């Protein structure tokens, strides 16, 4: 419909791959600037979507301006003047009229703005109405509308693009208009007709035209829906292909019968929770099957993932296979190793640890044993995925990622065996919206029940004036025989400074605040053996207080520690705070988390409020995700997925679900995407995911 109006250019499809320089008004210099935005071709241009819109249909008349309320107006510049107030403030006034009246747009101490406005310019203003000797709109958002075409009084919706400083919206808009007029018609449909019909999607051409220059708010909505659908559909097709690729491999069919089960259970010193039982069933089901397991086990800190992993590990070993357990840090690798060794005291399982600081001779020896099959379980850090590690017969890989994810690492390790089963454990509760996209190729298990006898941690937000009082409280807890963590932030950018702060504070706490208690210190730059010693000493109650940088966040298990103070809590992210807090509340005594924090931004303020309010990991993750967005939530570099250009994984969850089920259905019908109607999708998926995901079989 629309496309016919704006003209078509179907005769030469390759036109879209031409440089943007082909567009009127884009020369070599401008094309270089565009290049920085990722716009190289005309197609890139068309898929460079607005970040916002100015809806001129909501423009009000100046005669409607009410002092104290906000207003959006559209008019012509009648005059520009600057003056100096008695307070010596520089005042810039731009008088604007729209036929119903006039108003002064007023800025203070920004004289340079004067250059931007010229009599006769058309401007769009938005701001709060005030009054001096005449009506004013104070420090308004403004936009000078240069584009003649946009000035037709049709009440259109204006796109606002994410541009860099020295680019003007008006000019970019003009070029975009040109691009849309001449080339939107050349954009080829990529979706099969059934999908378009079923979801009542706008055609891709109309969607492109309307996302840039919407005819009506309704068409804008439909255009957005269509483009979000496209983006998520492409992503989910990739996921479906990946999942299929994994399933097409032949893995190991482990035999796990009553005998093996009974043997393993003998080694577990407590009755399992219902959740643990359920998850173990899910895992053994996978392991028995002929397709390689590819499962993500989610469970909040302390939910008891280790013993579940151990079950799977022992089942694999019972079948004559080797297993690997990979942890995110050396401390955690060692702790896993110790925990598991304790469980395995009365078994014949041969367990070794392999980390960065293992000495050379020992390391070579361990590597030899792994290679010749004399090791059943090897526990380590990413050192495990180094080339030199060769397994004799690797059957199961357990990856404890805590809250770090690395799709790529996963694959590297997997290559070490034929097609070993893979179990990934994470303490980060992943919002459903994300797990579907980011980990769409995995199966999920959830430990949603804590082992018995835990009381939830009480979390208090302590402001500066209450800090002294809380020292008293800490003292009382220590007198009762409990132990205390005091955590300091340590961030890369200010590492040496932060470190000094922690060290100085440890001294001060010892000498001035808690002279009768024993204060230990643990930080990232200590030698590995010293760290171990401090941890071990703390565990054996040789210290009452452990002052530490963030290093304790993963894995440490000390049930007698019931108080955690987090200093400068405002500097930690939500999931980090939650992880830290998970180090306490592990015994039967009431535990307390004290957040020392004086937030300077509304976001950090929000974080502390959330922490004090809930201990539900899923709620926290969801809020964290909302506060930070998906990129930062996982660290952009790690998740291995392209940026989403238009979709919002939270808002667009309903579209995601549709796109996902359509995508999986399509791939199950045409696993190689070779059908005529699927060729375009195939191209698009390969283009988008080139090296990012291993797309097997296509």
**Minimum separation from the CB atom of position 526 to Mg ion (A):** 22
Residue 29 contacts residue 204 (beta carbons within 8 Å)? no
Residue 581 contacts residue 574 (beta carbons within 8 Å)? no
Secondary structure of 124-165 in the HEC alphabet?
EEEEEEEECCCEEEEEEEEEEECCHHHHCCCCCEEEECCCCC
Task: Verify binding: residue 210, ligand ADP, rule CB under 6 A.
Answer: no
Residue nearest to ligand ADP (CB): 304
What part of residues 114-133 is at the interface with ligand ADP (CB under 6 A)? Answer: none
Residue 78 contacts residue 119 (beta carbons within 8 Å)? yes
**132 interacts with, out of Mg ion, ligand ADP, none, CB within 5 to 8 A per kind:** none
**604 interacts with, out of ligand ADP, Mg ion, none, CB within 5 to 8 A per kind:** none
Site string for ligand ADP, 566-605 (x = CB under 6 A): --------------------x-------------------
* Comparison of 553 and 652: residue with beta carbon closer to Mg ion: 553
Which window, 244-252, 253-261, 296-304, 686-694, contacts ligand ADP (CB under 6 A)?
296-304
**Minimum separation from the CB atom of position 297 to ligand ADP (A):** 9
Task: Verify binding: residue 301, ligand ADP, rule CB under 6 A.
Answer: yes
Task: Verify binding: residue 335, ligand ADP, rule CB under 6 A.
Answer: no
Which window, 268-276, 493-501, 503-511, 531-539, contacts ligand ADP (CB under 6 A)?
268-276
Other Cβ atoms closer than 10 A to 253: 12
Our measurement of the distance from residue 265's CA atom to the centroid of its chain's CA atoms, rounded to an integer in Å, reads 37
Which window, 16-24, 95-103, 302-310, 563-571, contacts ligand ADP (CB under 6 A)?
302-310
Token reading at 480: 């009762």
Which window, 22-30, 303-311, 416-424, 628-636, contacts ligand ADP (CB under 6 A)?
303-311
Nearest alpha carbon to residue 451 among 305, 554, 577: 305
**Minimum separation from the CB atom of position 535 to ligand ADP (A):** 15
Task: Verify binding: residue 276, ligand ADP, rule CB under 6 A.
Answer: yes
Residue 570 contacts residue 489 (beta carbons within 8 Å)? no
**54 interacts with, out of Mg ion, ligand ADP, none, CB within 5 to 8 A per kind:** none
Token reading at 637: 């570099």
**106 interacts with, out of Mg ion, ligand ADP, none, CB within 5 to 8 A per kind:** none
Alpha carbons within 13 A on the beta-carbon side of 159: 26
* Comparison of 66 and 265: residue with beta carbon closer to ligand ADP: 265
Backbone angles phi, psi at 14, to 5 degrees: -65, -15
Which window, 144-152, 269-277, 435-443, 477-485, contacts ligand ADP (CB under 6 A)?
269-277
Backbone angles phi, psi at 537, to 5 degrees: -65, -40
* Comparison of 234 and 306: residue with beta carbon closer to Mg ion: 306
Pairwise CA distance, residues 2 & 214, whole Å: 10
* Comparison of 279 and 663: residue with beta carbon closer to ligand ADP: 279
Residue 218 exposed, middle or buried by CB count within 10 Å (0-12, 13-18, 19+)? exposed
Nearest alpha carbon to residue 206 among 185, 182, 233: 185
**Minimum separation from the CB atom of position 521 to ligand ADP (A):** 24
Say which residues have a Cβ less than 8 Å from residue 103's Cβ, sequence separation at least 6.
Answer: 62, 65, 73, 95, 96, 97, 129, 134, 135, 136, 137
Q: Are strands 157-160 and 52-55 parallel, antiparallel or unpaired?
A: antiparallel
* Comparison of 179 and 301: residue with beta carbon closer to ligand ADP: 301
Instruction: Give the DSSP H or E segment for 449.
Output: none
Which window, 183-191, 298-306, 386-394, 535-543, contacts ligand ADP (CB under 6 A)?
298-306
Other Cβ atoms closer than 10 A to 259: 10
**577 interacts with, out of Mg ion, ligand ADP, none, CB within 5 to 8 A per kind:** none
Task: Verify binding: residue 429, ligand ADP, rule CB under 6 A.
Answer: no
Token reading at 595: 């957040």
Q: Are strands 70-84 and 443-447 parallel, antiparallel or unpaired?
A: unpaired
Pairwise CA distance, residues 174 & 150, whole Å: 9
Pairwise CA distance, residues 150 & 159, whole Å: 11
Task: Verify binding: residue 209, ligand ADP, rule CB under 6 A.
Answer: no
* Comparison of 138 and 272: residue with beta carbon closer to ligand ADP: 272
Which window, 116-124, 225-233, 300-308, 588-596, contacts ligand ADP (CB under 6 A)?
300-308
Say which residues have a Cβ less than 8 Å from residue 153's Cβ, sequence separation at least 6.
Answer: none
**Minimum separation from the CB atom of position 550 to ligand ADP (A):** 17
Task: Verify binding: residue 307, ligand ADP, rule CB under 6 A.
Answer: yes
**Minimum separation from the CB atom of position 300 to ligand ADP (A):** 7
Instruction: Give the DSSP H or E segment for 535.
Output: helix 528-539
Which window, 14-22, 58-66, 229-237, 270-278, contacts ligand ADP (CB under 6 A)?
270-278
Name the 3-class secondary structure at 92. strand
What part of residues 277-316 is at the interface with Mg ion (CB under 5 A)? Answer: 306
**451 interacts with, out of Mg ion, ligand ADP, none, CB within 5 to 8 A per kind:** ligand ADP
Instruction: Give the DSSP H or E segment for 633.
Output: helix 617-634
Task: Verify binding: residue 302, ligand ADP, rule CB under 6 A.
Answer: yes
Residues binding Mg ion (CB under 5 A): 306
Residues binding ligand ADP (CB under 6 A): 270, 272-273, 276, 299, 301-307, 427, 451, 557, 586
């Amino acid at each position: 419909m629309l496309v016919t109006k704006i003209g078509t250019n179907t005769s030469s499809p390759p036109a879209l791959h031409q440089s943007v320089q082909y567009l009127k008004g884009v020369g070599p210099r401008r094309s270089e600037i565009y290049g920085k935005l990722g716009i190289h071709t005309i197609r890139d241009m068309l898929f460079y979507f607005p970040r916002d819109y100015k809806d001129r249909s909501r423009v009000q008349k100046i005669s409607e301006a009410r002092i104290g309320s906000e207003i959006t107006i559209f008019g012509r510049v009648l005059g520009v003047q600057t003056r100096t107030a008695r307070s010596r403030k520089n005042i810039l006034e731009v008088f604007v009229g729209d036929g119903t009246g006039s108003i002064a747009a007023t800025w203070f101490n920004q004289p340079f703005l004067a250059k931007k406005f010229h009599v006769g310019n058309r401007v769009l203003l938005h701001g709060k109405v005030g009054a001096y000797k005449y009506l004013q709109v104070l420090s308004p958002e403004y936009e000078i509308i240069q584009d003649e075409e946009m000035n037709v009084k049709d009440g259109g919706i204006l796109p606002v693009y994410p541009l860099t400083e020295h680019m003007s919206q008006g000019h970019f808009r003009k070029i975009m208009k040109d691009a849309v007029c001449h080339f939107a018609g050349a954009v080829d449909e990529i979706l099969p007709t059934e999908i378009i019909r079923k979801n009542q999607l706008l055609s891709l051409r109309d969607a492109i035209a309307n996302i840039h220059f919407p005819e009506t708010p309704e068409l804008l909505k439909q255009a957005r829906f269509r483009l979000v659908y496209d983006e998520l559909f492409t992503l989910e097709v990739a996921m479906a292909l990946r999942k299929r690729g994994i399933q097409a491999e032949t893995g190991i069919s482990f035999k796990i019968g009553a005998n093996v089960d009974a043997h393993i259970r003998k080694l577990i010193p407590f009755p399992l929770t219902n959740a643990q039982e359920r998850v173990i069933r899910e895992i053994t089901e996978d392991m028995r099957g002929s397709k390689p397991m590819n499962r993500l086990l989610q469970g909040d800190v302390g939910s008891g993932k280790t013993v579940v992993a151990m079950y799977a590990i022992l089942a694999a070993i019972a079948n004559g296979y080797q297993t690997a357990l990979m942890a995110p840090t050396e401390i955690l690798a060692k702790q896993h190793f110790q925990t598991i060794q304790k469980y395995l005291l009365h078994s014949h399982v041969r367990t070794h640890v392999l980390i960065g600081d293992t000495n050379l001779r020992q390391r070579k020896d361990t590597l030899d044993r792994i290679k010749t099959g004399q090791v059943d379980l090897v526990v380590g850090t990413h050192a495990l995925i180094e080339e030199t590690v060769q397994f004799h017969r690797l059957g199961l890989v357990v990856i404890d990622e805590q809250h770090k994810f690395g799709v790529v690492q996963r694959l590297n390790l997997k290559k070490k065996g034929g097609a070993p089963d893979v179990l990934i454990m994470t303490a980060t509760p992943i919002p459903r919206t994300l797990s579907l996209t980011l980990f769409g190729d995995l199966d999920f298990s959830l430990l949603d029940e804590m082992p018995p006898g835990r009381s939830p941690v009480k979390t208090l937000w302590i402001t500066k004036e209450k800090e002294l009082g809380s020292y008293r409280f800490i003292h009382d807890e220590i007198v009762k025989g409990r132990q205390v963590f005091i955590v300091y932030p340590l961030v890369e950018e200010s590492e040496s400074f932060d470190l000094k702060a922690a060290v100085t504070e440890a001294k001060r706490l010892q000498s001035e605040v808690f002279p009768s208690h024993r204060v230990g210190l643990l930080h990232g730059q200590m030698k590995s053996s010293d760290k171990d010693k401090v941890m071990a000493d703390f565990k054996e109650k040789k210290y009452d207080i452990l002052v530490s940088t963030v290093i304790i966040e993963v894995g440490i298990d000390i049930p007698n520690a019931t108080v955690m103070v987090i200093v400068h809590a405002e500097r930690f992210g939500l999931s980090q705070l939650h992880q830290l807090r998970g180090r306490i509340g592990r015994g039967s005594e009431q535990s307390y988390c004290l957040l020392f924090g004086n937030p300077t931004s509304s976001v950090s303020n929000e974080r502390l409020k959330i922490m004090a309010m809930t201990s539900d990991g899923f709620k926290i993750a969801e809020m964290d995700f909302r506060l930070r967005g998906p990129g930062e939530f996982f660290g952009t570099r790690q998740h291995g997925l392209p940026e989403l250009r238009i979709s919002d994984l939270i808002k667009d969850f309903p579209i995601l679900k549709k796109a996902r089920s359509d995508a999986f259905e399509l791939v199950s019908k045409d696993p190689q995407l070779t059908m005529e109607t699927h060729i375009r999708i195939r191209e698009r998926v390969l283009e988008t995911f080139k090296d990012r995901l291993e797309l097997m079989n296509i």
